Structure 1
Amino acid sequence: MLNFKQLHHFWNVARAGGIVRASERSGLAPQTLSGQIAILEASLGVSLFRRRGRGLALTETGQMVLDYAEEIFRVGSELEEALHNRAAGRAIPFRVGIADVVPKAIAWLLLAPSMKLAEPVRIVCREDKMVRLLGDLAIHKLDVVLADSPMPAHTDVRGYNHKLGESSISFFAAPSLAESLTGSFPANLVRQPMLIPGADAAVRRPLMQWFEEQHIAPHIVGEFDDAALMKAFGEAGVGVFPAATLIAEQVCHQHGVRCLGEASAVSEAYYAISVERRISHPATLAISRSGLEGAKRD
């Protein structure tokens, strides 16, 4: 069985970048740390470090073991914090990063199950570009990131994608603009002013492809990273705008607009991205189990 005390010594040495520095930080003798790591390597049957000049560098296997150790001790720290909060009667903190391209109404649907747990949760939401949120996720400033696409393959962050659901896209317009449209959907979109999501939105490419397939050359009058701002312009009658069909009723009620039709071939997916292979935070677990459709039914 894995000796977690030895693993913890390895973790400290790897993070410190060498045995001497780890010894200074921990107060343990270098010989003690070196001996414990040697025992761990022998029990695992692998080499975790290799000599590099006067210091040590992780082997490929050592890097893999470090990744697991990071996850093990992070989960242990979260467990300790959760137990401490429970004993003190305090709410469990749930730190969520929301990519700025995710509609706020969708974010609420995704997060709603976390607010219904038996144990109280104190949710802290931060909205930003996905790349910056992933950076904070990597250093454990966030518990989860909600996004409209999986984590980019080229990123250096070690994380896992958990798909929560998807929705087709519908088009909306203020009554004054809707009444001026002639013909049936989607032909009535031809030559109409169009508001579209910004380049960072995952739905942007399939949306433009759908326009091309439908022989609609959109007259784009605005591009928006913020979906709420796009809807505000649409509400003012500036142009037709797309939004998730799942929240069509809410969009119409909140912004006083009309639904023109659904582009069923265009869909937008939503993901929870975590650094955990197996989710342990109770709030993240709640939203992953419920998913978008489950949250909508609730």
Structure 2
Amino acid sequence: MKATGINFRHLYFFRVVASEGSVTRAAERLGLAIQTVSTQVAALEQSVGKSLLTQQGRRLVPTDAGRVALTYAEQIFELGDRMQEALDEADNGRMRLTVGISDSLPKLIAYRLMETAFGMESPIKLICVEREFETLLADLALHKLDVVLTDRTVRASASLRVFSHLLGESEMMLFGASALARRHGRDFPDSLNGAPLLLPTRNNALRGRIDEWLLQHHIRPDIVGEFEDNAMLNTFGRRGLGLFFAPAGLEDDIRGQFNAVPVGAATGLREQFYAISSERRIRHPAVEAILAGQTGLFGG
């Protein structure tokens, strides 16, 4: 007869054995007797009514049921670690906020989106993680992140229970180093025919809209570079390799940080910015502040 609850000590021992591939090595790592570790894992298997480990050559590997249990175990102990960190930070009067930032999102925009969280009465400890969009969604689903900031939306599904929140949008402008901007600034946008352009790669949400805008204006530029990472694109633009698109709301920042000047406004071309949150009963106060504080941030 199966028990109604899981002993997390047993689950922890199983996790270590699965990681080490051996009861002996797990016992050495834990500083315990082999029999103690073996008994704990056996107790877990009896509790769930399934074999969780099987011998494969010289290693113990998870069974199908064991792989499922191990996935949940990783989430459980990850949340346990985060709970302890949150409790420690609560003693220091700080609230932990873990933000995933899509590598395609302009870093200056990411800062603007998070700015309201720093104005809260309770100070926060910010943890920023920059990765590919799909990886961030997986981490969000596992509750490793509190929110994801990105330039694209995502639909919730049975396997991915998340919400997309439009934080703002901005008209795009074309920028470039001074000499390059002067050369292509007259008769804009017709002056862009043959102009060197730096663009995001085609898996970027903005790229399709840029291609459509160029097609509508019958512009055939010289695409000299395509970049996954927005910061890298801007760096090459600062060095004068080509012209690049950026949100008009960041004009002052781009002038200051990248020594680049506007070439012209890409009328009709806009970029959207989103916060992706997981479905939770308790919402993070700092995430709520981010969601509530974006109206008019980018000038419509």
Q: 4+ residue runs of structure 1 moved beyond 6 angstroms?
A: 78-84
SS in structure 1 of the partner of residue 225 of structure 2:
strand
Residues 197 and 24 (structure 1), Cα distance of their counterparts in 2 relative to 1, 3 Å cut: closer
How many residues are treated as equivalent by the alignment?
231
Indicate yes or no: 2:207 matched with 1:204.
Answer: yes
Indicate yes or no: 2:115 matched with 1:115.
Answer: no
Residues 24 and 145 (structure 1), Cα distance of their counterparts in 2 relative to 1, 3 Å cut: closer
Residue 7 of structure 2: aligned partner: 25
TM-score scaled by structure 2?
Answer: 0.69
| Mapping 1:164-243, distance limit 5 Å | 164-181=167-184, 183-243=186-246
The whole-number CA distance in structure 1 between the counterparts of 2:245 and 2:281 is: 35
Residue 255 of structure 2: aligned partner: 252
The whole-number CA distance in structure 1 between the counterparts of 2:118 and 2:244 is: 31
The whole-number CA distance in structure 2 between the counterparts of 1:171 and 1:251 is: 11
Indicate yes or no: 2:73 matched with 1:91.
Answer: no
The whole-number CA distance in structure 1 between the counterparts of 2:185 and 2:147 is: 45
8 Å contact kept, 1:110–1:292: no
TM-score scaled by structure 1?
Answer: 0.70
8 Å contact kept, 1:173–1:258: yes
Aligned AA for 1:202? A
The whole-number CA distance in structure 2 between the counterparts of 1:151 and 1:111 is: 20
Residues 184 and 24 (structure 1), Cα distance of their counterparts in 2 relative to 1, 3 Å cut: closer
8 Å contact kept, 2:107–2:231: yes
SS in structure 2 of the partner of residue 20 of structure 1:
coil
The whole-number CA distance in structure 2 between the counterparts of 1:146 and 1:113 is: 14
Aligned AA for 1:213? Q
Residue 157 of structure 1: aligned partner: 160
Aligned AA for 2:248? T
Q: How far 1:89 sits from its partner (Å)?
A: 3.2
The whole-number CA distance in structure 2 between the counterparts of 1:24 and 1:286 is: 37
8 Å contact kept, 1:192–1:218: yes
**1:225-284 C-alpha deviation (Å, 9 max, x unpaired):** 111111111111111110111101211221111101111211111111111367721110
The whole-number CA distance in structure 2 between the counterparts of 1:279 and 1:208 is: 41
Residues 21 and 166 (structure 1), Cα distance of their counterparts in 2 relative to 1, 3 Å cut: farther
Residues 101 and 292 (structure 1), Cα distance of their counterparts in 2 relative to 1, 3 Å cut: farther
**1:114-170 C-alpha deviation (Å, 9 max, x unpaired):** 111111100100000010001010111000000101125679321011110011110
The whole-number CA distance in structure 1 between the counterparts of 2:103 and 2:8 is: 41
Residues 194 and 292 (structure 1), Cα distance of their counterparts in 2 relative to 1, 3 Å cut: farther
Q: How far 1:182 sits from its partner (Å)?
A: 6.1
Residues 155 and 256 (structure 1), Cα distance of their counterparts in 2 relative to 1, 3 Å cut: farther
Aligned AA for 1:120? P
The whole-number CA distance in structure 1 between the counterparts of 2:159 and 2:107 is: 28
SS in structure 2 of the partner of residue 291 of structure 1:
coil
Indicate yes or no: 2:295 matched with 1:289.
Answer: no
Residues 155 and 194 (structure 1), Cα distance of their counterparts in 2 relative to 1, 3 Å cut: farther
Residue 140 of structure 2: aligned partner: 137
8 Å contact kept, 2:155–2:162: no
SS in structure 2 of the partner of residue 215 of structure 1:
coil
Residues 191 and 26 (structure 1), Cα distance of their counterparts in 2 relative to 1, 3 Å cut: closer
Residue 30 of structure 1: aligned partner: none
Aligned AA for 1:111? M
